[in-house]
Amino acid sequence: MNILALEPYFGGSHQAFLDGWITQSQHCWTLLTLPAHHWKWRMRHAAITFAEQVTSLPHTHFDAIFCSDMLNLAVFRGLAPQSIAQLPAVVYFHENQLTYPDNTRAQRDYHYAFDNFQTLLAADQAWFNSAYHRTEFFQQCRAFLKKFPDFTLEGRLDHAFGQTTIASPGLPEIETSQREHNWQCPHIVWAARWEKDKNPESFFRAMYRLKDDGLPFRLSIVGESFRDCPPIFSEAREVLADHIEQWGFLPSHEDYVRLLCTSDIFVSTAEHEFFGISAAEAILAGNLPVLPSRLAYPELVDQQPSLLYDGTTFGLIAHLQKLREDKTFQQAVQQQTALVALKLDRLQWSQLAPVYDERLKSVTDKA
């Protein structure tokens, strides 16, 4: 099949998804992309821009459209040539603008959320990266639509839900590293955007407590930082200087995987997460996950109880201390991590791409 892919924000997880799938796909792909910055402007103009760009493409028979949630698919269908507009379309929800944190505004701009709703209705099928994400989006979308004075449209969600499915993001090829874990001086990794919704304060407070208790550990803090970086990072870099192995963004994904292959424990303190790719990659690389029992994490690790903590700072401290001292608990964590790694191995693109190729073909067969 010939697939027209439209990605208004070609960077990060959006780019990784398309690159990973296309590399392993049996379909032929034509990509129209825009740079991964000024996301609000991308959501405003992408449909118009892409509708103009498709008119200058070499004459090709396309079988389907694949786009992300950053595109207003309804507007694109209205402006594109009929031969393109009438194609069956699948939208992939990496995130949504109803529940994605917006730390720059005191009040959310719901125009972008309504764009997501329109795209949902305009698609033949909507793929969500986790069941948690789909449930949260539909709950919040229903509440959002009920706020309007009349013609509230929430009834459209019932039909739209039937057009959705769960499609985990594919993972890169990572060979699971079988190694002995250092229980007495573990190498702990925290890898996330350096922003408030990833809850770095909780993580560093837990590390301060381990330091005060005299427990040895090594620490790698990686991830993308921004201009308004929470001040806890500069404080923690000084307080925990003697424990730091790696601090800051790594130049390539290969460097990040190499780090994961030498570390012991991956910790998340996130208050916002639609899937948990960093945690999934860490597990594949041989790390033992310590994840809050909220968001998409229980789904990611199949509710394995020894891999989850209660989400509080005190709960994280207790979990890490138990992991250091309790051999029975250590064995349970290792066994449960191995089970999750088997599941995640099937999400590597070499195995997942044929599944998604067939799923995309089934959408066109029904059209």
Whether 81 and 6 share a structural domain: yes
**Rounded distance, CA 213 to CA 267, Å?**
19
Residue 176 domain-assigned (yes or no):
no
**Rounded distance, CA 263 to CA 256, Å?**
11
Residue 107 domain-assigned (yes or no):
yes
Whether 152 and 202 share a structural domain: no
Main-chain phi, psi angles of 26, to 5 degrees: -90, -10
CB atoms within 10 A of CB 104: 8
pLDDT of residue 350: 96
Main-chain phi, psi angles of 90, to 5 degrees: -115, 130
pLDDT of residue 226: 81
Would you say 323 and 265 are in contact if contact means Cβ atoms under 8 Å apart? yes
pLDDT of residue 227: 79
Please tell me the total count of domains within the chain.
2
Half-sphere exposure of 233 (CA within 13 A, CB side): 24
Residue 103 domain-assigned (yes or no):
yes
Give me the helix-helix angle, 110-122 and 39-53, nearest 10°. 40
In terms of DSSP H, where are the helices of the chain?
12-24, 39-53, 73-79, 82-85, 110-122, 131-145, 156-161, 200-212, 232-239, 253-260, 277-284, 297-300, 313-325, 327-345, 349-366
- CATH number of the domain where residue 330 is located: 3.40.50.2000
Whether 118 and 27 share a structural domain: yes
pTM of the model: 0.95
Closest to 46 in 3D by CA, of 90, 6, 14, 19: 6
Residue 121 domain-assigned (yes or no):
yes
Closest to 192 in 3D by CA, of 277, 255, 128, 254: 277
Whether 327 and 358 share a structural domain: no
pLDDT of residue 152: 87
Would you say 62 and 78 are in contact if contact means Cβ atoms under 8 Å apart? no
**Rounded distance, CA 175 to CA 152, Å?**
50
Residue 182 domain-assigned (yes or no):
no
Residue 180 domain-assigned (yes or no):
no
Whether 270 and 166 share a structural domain: no
pLDDT of residue 357: 98
Residue 242 domain-assigned (yes or no):
yes
**Rounded distance, CA 119 to CA 352, Å?**
25
Whether 87 and 192 share a structural domain: no
Whether 110 and 214 share a structural domain: no
Closest to 62 in 3D by CA, of 27, 35, 94: 27
Residue 257 domain-assigned (yes or no):
yes
The answer for residues whose C-beta is within 8 angstroms of residue 34's C-beta and 6 or more apart is: 7, 8, 9, 10, 42, 46, 49
Q: Which residues of the chain have pLDDT under 50?
A: none
Whether 100 and 199 share a structural domain: no
Closest to 3 in 3D by CA, of 74, 69, 84, 118: 84
Whether 143 and 68 share a structural domain: yes
Whether 100 and 214 share a structural domain: no
Whether 118 and 78 share a structural domain: yes
Q: In what order do the strands lie in the sheet with 244-247?
A: 244-247, 218-222, 187-191, 265-267, 288-292, 308-309
Write out the residue range of the structural domain in which residue 53 sits: 2-170+349-366
